[in-house]
Amino acid sequence: MDRARAHDFEDLAINLPCCGTSSTLNDLVYHWPAGFANFVLEARNPGLGGVLAPEPLARLQIELGCELKQIMARY
């Protein structure tokens, strides 16, 4: 995204880091909610249908000093 933005989105080609496949930003399919992040925290077996409960999420946000958004991973 940063590279495409730096060139006014004229070149949307991308090599996907997950599999090395060539694609374009237009061809990516985003499943909402989606997000771009600097880091990932994984919660294994968080309960409540795969969603981290509000209390532990709030504690993590306090500890990290930033707002967190839960994104369900799709493998």
Reported as a single tens digit per residue, the pLDDT across 53-63 is 889 899 999 99
Residue with tokens 């504690």: 59
d(CA 27, CA 52): 31
Shared domain for 18 and 36, answered yes or no, is no
Shared domain for 25 and 35, answered yes or no, is no
Shared domain for 41 and 70, answered yes or no, is yes
Q: Residue 18 sits in which domain range?
A: 1-29
Shared domain for 17 and 42, answered yes or no, is no
Tell me the pTM.
Answer: 0.51
Beta bridge partners of 45: none
Shared domain for 67 and 36, answered yes or no, is yes
- In total, how many domains does the chain have? 2
Mean pLDDT of the residues in the chain: 84
The residue with greater pLDDT, 49 or 14, is 14
